[in-house]
Chains A and B, each alone.
Chain A
Amino acid sequence: MVAHSSAARAAAPAEEPQGIELFLPAGYDIFWSAVVMAIIAAVFYKLVLPRMNAVLDERASLIEGGIAKAEEAQKQADEALAQQQQLLAEARADAAQVREEARAEGTAIIKDLKVKASEEAARITETARRQIEADRQAASVSLRTEVGALATDLASKIVGESLEDSARQSRVVDRFLDELEASQAVASNKEA
């Protein structure tokens, strides 16, 4: 059939194949088709596809490698950030603690100083009070003697009478002083 149709076609090439002949292949048609397809398939199987697949695989592995690298870098960055934040938090906590301690210490120092100062003040006050008391005693004693002599002199001069009798003299002086003290007490009461 095939040989017949190709022979017929060779004899009269311009003759138009009718009907079913369109789908009946001539021998040469099949032969060359097989050759051409074999060449194309060989090139694609042996050269084009392996080469392209190798490139695609390489690209895929590169991309995967890149992604892995990026992920690694991201992880490291995250870790560093976390570490930094932890350090920062620790530093803040430390600072807060130090501040708290300092404040407590300061308060304690102030309190201590206040106590000391008030003690000092009390001590100074006490010393002064004692000094004043001592001075007052001394003044009182000297006053008593001096004022007695003066008053006696004065009185003897005024009265012209010598108060030689020491007992009397003493009595007179005591009375005078009592009166003086009484008048002073009245005066101080009034002042109060």
Chain B
Amino acid sequence: MARPFRHLRRTRAGPNDHLGVLLSTHATSVILAATEGHEGEGGFHTPSISDFFPSAILFEGTIFQIDRLWIIRIIATLVLLSIFVIAARRAKVVPGRFQAGVEFLLSFVRVQIGEEIMGKERSRRFVPMLTTIFLSILAFNLTGVIPGLNLAGTSRIGLPLVLALWVFVTYWAVGIRKHGLGGYLRANLFPPGVPWPIYFILTPIELLQLLIIRPGSLMVRLVANMVAGHIILVLCFAATQFFVVDSAGTGLMIFGALTLPAGIFMTLFEVLVAFLQAYIFALLAAAYINMSLEEEH
């Protein structure tokens, strides 16, 4: 399984990799001088891929290694669980504002994702899974725009990979349980109503879809969006810092008028992207599971 994955990742990773390198070289050449002697948590730093791989804090080098991104993920997890556990414990028949907000999110997943894609009856089984996926991705995405955290929990591949694997295992499992392994493969790899020579092309593509493209695109789409978003945000704010604070009194300050609104706009845009990516991930998960459950034609 590792080889096709690697192949896919290479093709998918290409542009982002390029972007990352481009941004980091560009940023280093412009800003390096200004960063000298500038330290601190919220301070300036060059946007680069290494942002997503901070130094280990605990258990360095082991499988239990904890770094800054992990602290962010743990905080996001605690906040997410606190909100929903409190809401669940205090849930009343007549909801207050807080409960109404929580219920809005839950019913959004249930209705707009589950029932919309799978239908009311079929979606019932998968609503807990879709809810977990949607809300955890949303929480981990939003850490990217929260001051002090400033790094999306989904911007490193591990978490999206686990979620994609969950979806992958689920749609295989429900498909095999419903149609049997042979029936499931036949329905998916040899779709009826196609002239047989086409199967020489179609079947490998469908197999690739089932095994790699679906889970791979789920996680790569999410990670790439979050990585790109973080780099753009850092670039906007680092540039603002450089133009307004470090270049104070020079003509360069005027560029700050451009980069600061851009940073604010991109922050809002990232909030939208956070929702959108969580929605797309859950929506596609529902669609893939639904495809496995479709009756044979």
Contacts and interface: CB of A to CB of B under 8 A. Distances in A.
Interface stretch (A26-34, A114-122, A143-151, A176-184): A26-34
Interface string A38-63: 01110111011101101110110010
A33 B161 contact: yes
B127 A49 contact: yes
Contacts of A41: 128-129, 132
B290 to A, nearest CB: 20
Contacts of B190: none
Given A10-B61, A20-B17, A51 B80 contact: no
Contact of A15 (B50, B94, B102): B50
A22 B16 CA distance: 9
A169 interface: no
Interface of A: 1, 6-7, 9-11, 13-20, 22-34, 36-37, 39-41, 43-45, 47-49, 51-52, 54-56, 58-59, 62
Interface residues of B, number: 65
A-B pairs, top 6 by smallest CB distance, nearest first, are A29-B158, A10-B61, A51-B88, A28-B65, A16-B50, A13-B55
A44 B135 contact: yes
B162 A18 contact: no
Nearest to A54: B91
Interface of B: 2, 6, 9-10, 12-13, 16-17, 20-21, 24, 48-50, 52-56, 59-67, 70, 73-74, 77, 80-81, 84-85, 87-89, 91-94, 102-103, 106, 127-129, 131-132, 135-136, 156-159, 161-163, 166, 219-220, 223, 227
A13 B127 contact: no
Contact of B92 (A32, A43, A55): A55
B42 to A, nearest CB: 19
Contact of A22 (B49, B65, B103): B49
B55 A16 contact: no
A52 B106 contact: yes
